[in-house]
Amino acid sequence: MNLLERVAAVLNGAGMAHALIGAVALAAHGVARSTVDQDLLVADRACLSPTLWKPLEAEGIRVEIRRGDVSDPLAGVVRFEAPGERPLDLIVGKHAWQKRAIEKVAPQASSPPGTPVVGLVDLILLKLYAGGPQDAWDIQQLLAVEDRDGLAAEVEAELQTLPPELSNLWKKITSSGWEDR
């Protein structure tokens, strides 16, 4: 088993729902982008417990747990590294909308076997939440692959329930004057 499959097996064994995000999810939705690591999203803070990852550490996998504080947009991140493999970041969300994004997923033919990928609208919302220049570029690429108007309408319906700064960034990205800097 590779690193992703081993981490997913621990999460599955603990009953923790999870989904691929980041560049792997982009690829599953038709946008190819290279990256050094892989990203999984969970919404269960129990995955920040060192005890959960002891079996992987016993196999020689390096596990680093970083807990977010009150002002952090995430509950934390668990970083996994194994010799000869791409690192994996387990992103621990702390908002109800992130949990819903995970609950809505279904495995896709283009994703690694048995590993669900976050849906397209939720991937865009996560990219808006991250808010960096690469995230904006990723959103533009996703909009170019799908039915832009239909997808935009779905995203805008979801944005009504999320923090206003996500709507502001969405407007900038989808405006005709947006330039990738």
Domains in the chain: boundaries: 3-174
What is the distance between the alpha carbons of residues 127 and 22, in angstroms, rounded to a whole number? Answer: 8
The pLDDT tens digits for 36-95 are 899 999 999 999 999 999 999 999 999 999 999 998 999 999 999 999 999 999 999 999
Strand partners, 90: 40, 78
The pLDDT tens digits for 111-147 are 455 688 999 999 999 999 998 899 999 999 999 987 8
pLDDT confidence bin for 106, thresholds 50/70/90:
low
- Average pLDDT for the chain: 89
CATH 3.30.1360.120 fits 3-174, yes or no: no
Name which of 43, 32, 78, 27 is nearest 57 in CA terms: 78
pLDDT at 110: 45
Provide the whole-model pTM.
Answer: 0.89
- Which residues have CB under 8 Å from 37's CB, separation 6+? 22, 86, 87, 88, 89
